[in-house]
């Protein structure tokens, strides 16, 4: 694993990463920790994965804690930020990587599944954005996650793309609402990325077809996406604000 960076920029910076123990969120936790940030690994159900992530970060010389919270529960998310501030003194970066995926034709989707999806992906994103807007220190960054399917519009992704479209709609609005605070707000929209969530339920043929769709002819990796987040939350990326960045190897 990359050694911990102790540059002046990184010292004392703190990141809250929701969904930070699995998939892209875990890769983000590792990447930001490698850049010297203290990491608050948020999770909702898999305690073992969260503890494993924290153990890996601390073994590499980083600082990290795990905090359980449902992102759609405003009291739990407020408590998450309270614990971040109590442990590390404040919050400089918030990455909302928590999310759900449900695939079905619009005509067939169970509306209870739709409600659960939107509870996490829309309400949860809004709740985390509220706390980020209230708690981030000057010079900070908020990064949300959308999906490139908002642009590609593949069948069966209607509910998921709709939930992520809501996040894209909030991005520039929140950036403008934080005028004068020196805080950036951006959204990363990955293309097909080799995570457990993406691979689950797909055939080898489906995966191979999706891998060949970008001009770069491969699936993205969680680390590819984590590198984008690291840039957006760095001093070098601080002029980028209110943007949707489609990190997808050249898809539409």
Q: Which residues are catalytic?
A: 160
Is 31 within 8 Å of 103 (Cβ atoms)? Answer: no
Integer CA distances (angstroms), 86 to 1, 2, 91, in order = 28, 27, 10
Integer CA distances (angstroms), 145 to 25, 52, 110, 208, in order = 10, 23, 24, 24
Run of H or E residues at 52 = helix 47-59
Tokens of 38: 């203290």
In this structure, what are the phi and psi dihedrals at residue 92, rounded to the nearest 5 degrees? -115, -25
Q: How many Cβ atoms sit within 10 Å of the Cβ of residue 197?
A: 14
Q: How many Cβ atoms sit within 10 Å of the Cβ of residue 250?
A: 11
């Amino acid at each position: 694993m990359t050694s911990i960076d102790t540059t002046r920029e990184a010292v004392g910076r703190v990141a809250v990463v929701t969904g930070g123990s699995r998939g892209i969120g875990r890769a983000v936790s590792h990447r930001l920790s490698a850049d010297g940030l203290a990491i608050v690994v948020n999770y909702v159900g898999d305690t073992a994965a969260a503890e494993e992530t924290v153990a890996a970060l601390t073994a590499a010389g980083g600082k990290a804690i795990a905090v359980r919270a449902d992102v759609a529960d405003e009291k739990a998310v407020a408590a998450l930020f309270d614990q971040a501030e109590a442990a590390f003194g404040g919050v400089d970066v918030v990455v909302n990587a928590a999310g759900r995926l449900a695939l079905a034709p619009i005509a067939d989707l169970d509306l209870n599944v739709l409600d659960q999806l939107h509870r996490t992906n829309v309400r949860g994103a809004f709740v985390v954005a509220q706390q980020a807007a209230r708690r981030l220190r000057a010079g900070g960054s908020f990064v949300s996650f959308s999906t490139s399917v908002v642009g590609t519009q593949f069948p069966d992704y209607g509910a998921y793309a709709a939930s992520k479209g809501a996040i894209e709609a909030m991005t520039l609005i929140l950036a403008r609402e934080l005028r004068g605070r020196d805080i950036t707000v951006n959204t990363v929209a990955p293309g097909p990325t080799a995570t457990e969530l993406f691979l689950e339920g797909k055939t080898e043929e489906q995966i191979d077809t999706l891998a060949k769709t970008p001009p770069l002819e491969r699936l993205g990796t969680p680390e590819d996406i984590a590198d984008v987040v690291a840039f957006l939350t760095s001093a070098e990326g601080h002029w980028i604000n209110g943007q949707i960045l489609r990190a997808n190897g050249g898809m539409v």
